[in-house]
Amino acid sequence: MIRHHLPALLVVVPLGTGLALPLLATLSSRLAWPATVAAGAITAALAVAGVFQVLAGGPVHYAVGGWPPPWGIELVLDPLSAFVAAVVAAVSTCSLAYAGGLDDPALRGRLGGGPALCLLLLAAMMGIVVTGDLFNLFVFLEVAALATYALIGAGGGRALLASFRYVILGSLGASFYLLGVGLLYALTGTLNMADLAARLPAAEASRLVPVAVGLIVMGLGIKMGVAPLHGWLPDAYTYAPPAVVALLAPVATKVAAYALARILFSVLGVSFVLDASVLGGALAWLGAGSILVGGIMALRQDDLRRLLAYSSVSQMGYIVLGIGLATANSLAGAYLHILNHALMKGCLFFVAGAAAQRLGGTALADLRRMHRLMPVTTACLVVAALSMVGIPPAGGFFSKWYLLLGAVESGHWVFAGVILAGGLLAVVYMFRVLEHVCLEPRAADDHGGGHARVGRKDASPAVLLPLVVLAVGIVAAGIFNASIVNGLLRLAASVGVG
């Protein structure tokens, strides 16, 4: 029963819990966060079970409401969607636990509105990942966006403006996407991805296909926050409540990247991306530009959260570059980076949120002495920063390694150079943070032995636990990357290629 309905349950569990949450919160408001985390954990467990089910028995197709595709909505778990679903659900569970532990006043509404919106966002993201229908994907994109607007705005003050910016740009992105899907529907008469893939070759001569694809890429590009379409992202990540950023930053943009890869390789096919159009090249350049622009902008920031936001722009560039190159290794790297970046960016934003709470701010100047005040948090920061820089065995190195192999073996030396340069930019901006966090400038003749001990005020265990889980995950994802790549991502990368 669970096996059969698994794709639907990935959406239904968080959605149902989210809707029931206000009711539960009227009984006892203290139950809201535990119920939220439990729903996330169940979703994650189901998603991981989904991965094994796909590995054992091949893709799982599910017709919603019993209406067979292409008329009804189809949910599909294949290696790629199962992998991304597991990443999104597992990392989000940590984010939800962290958000509960942080007990952000912005999300402390009487009816459990904050956690309910978080679950709505999770449900929508899972929906984007498992759906096999282009219009249904739009619906989930909008559900996710609506939840996000409210969650960002919950910060009040400047967060309201950031939220408004995202409303404008996000709606623009969704409209582009919808327009593109509309054109494809007009050309082929279907919205089901598999069906569309079968019918598209007949319509490929039409000049409207590139237009439709361009619109879709533009729309999803805004959602991904790749430069130069990233205008909404830095403010949103800087001013939204820390608990919200902890949920948004690791996975929300990745889900859009997944949607892009899904449409490119399952609907259009790799031959269209690489041979029949300039799409692959254009995406690769877009990604390369984003790596550099995001990295350079990150150098100039004096606030940790803003710095991390631009770093996200840079890191999303890696994923887009890998998708654009579309070789087996570069796709493996891009998909692996979805996991690695979710882990490390989650970890870093968790640190930023904890520091904001304990040290009163996330300006780099506020973080002085953090290594003595918050040693465990600092240790996690160091692990995540080294992963961002690309020091093995942290996971971040390995996604770049596969991307680099993909660029070198296809002779794209410029992109290989950009991948490496992005790592060097990360060295500069991450070590700048570490310098502030770990070093305390002193006079030359002062050996410092007599320094007074400072009282520790590290974050509470409820906050540290998800943080440490992610930090350990970063290293584990690095050490066992070959199992993930060989077992799952090679299959995922072959979607639409064979």
Partner 1 sequence: MGEATVSLLPAAAVLPALAAATLILFSGRRPNLREAWSLGAAVLQSWAVIAMIPAALAGGALELRLVELSPGVSLALRADALGLVFAALSSVLWLLTTLYSIGYVRALDEHAQTRYFFCFAVCVGAAVGVALSANLLTFFLFYELLTVATYPLVVHKETPEAIRAGRVYLGYTLGAGTALLAGVAVTYVAAGTLEFRPGGLFSGDTAAGTIWLVFALLGLGVGVKAAVIPLHAWLPLAMIAPTPVSALLHAVAVVKAGVFGTLRVVGYVLGPDALAASGAWLVLAWIAAATIVLASLAALLQDNLKRLLAFSTVSQLSYIVLGAALATTGSLTGAVQHMVNHGTLKITLFFCAGAIYVATGRERVSELAGLGRRLPVTMGVFAVAALGLAGVPPAAGFLSKWYLIGGAVEAGFWPAVVVYLSSSLLNLAYFVPIVIAAFFRPLRGGDDLEEPSLMMLVPLVLTATAGVLLGLAPDVPVAFLSLAATAAADMLGGR
Contact footprint for partner 1 (CB under 8 A) = 386, 389-393, 398, 401-402, 404-405, 408-409, 416, 420, 423-424, 427, 431, 435, 438-444, 447-451, 479-483, 485-486
Q: What are phi and psi of 103, to 5 degrees?
A: 50, 55
98 close to 279: Cβ distance less than 8 angstroms: no
Q: Which of 257, 220, 241 is nearest to 163 (CA)?
A: 241
Please say which residue, 134 or 348, places its beta carbon nearer to partner 1: 348
Task: Give just the sign of the alpha carbon dihedral 174, 180, 181, 186.
Answer: positive
Nearer to partner 1, 164 or 431 (CB): 431
Work out how close the CB of 409 gets to partner 1 at its nearest, in angstroms, rounded to a whole number: 5
Identity of the residue, 207 or 447, whose beta carbon is nearer to partner 1 in the bound complex = 447
Residue with smaller CB distance to partner 1, 70 or 396: 396
Measured between alpha carbons, how far is 227 from 222 in angstroms, rounded to an integer? 9
CB of 464 to partner 1, least distance (A): 16
- Residue 342: CB minimum distance to partner 1, A: 21
Q: Can you say whether the dihedral through the CA atoms of 272, 278, 281, 284 is positive or negative? A: negative
Q: Which is nearer to partner 1, 21 or 332 (CB)?
A: 332
110 phi and psi angles, rounded to 5 deg = -65, -35
Residue 206: CB atoms within 10 A of its CB come to 15
| Rounded least distance, CB 376 to partner 1, Å | 11
Q: Least distance in Å: CB of 427 to partner 1?
A: 5
- 345 vs 307: CA distance, rounded Å: 11
DSSP label at 370? Answer: H
Which one, 98 or 429, has the nearer CB to partner 1? 429
Q: For residue 75, give the H/E element and its range.
A: strand 74-77
Q: How far is the CB of 492 from partner 1 (least distance, A)?
A: 15
Residue that the structure tokens 């920031």 belong to: 301
Nearer to partner 1, 300 or 451 (CB): 451
CA nearest to 357, candidates 375, 376, 374: 374
The least CB distance from residue 420 to partner 1, in Å, is 5
Gap between the terminal Cα atoms of the chain: 32
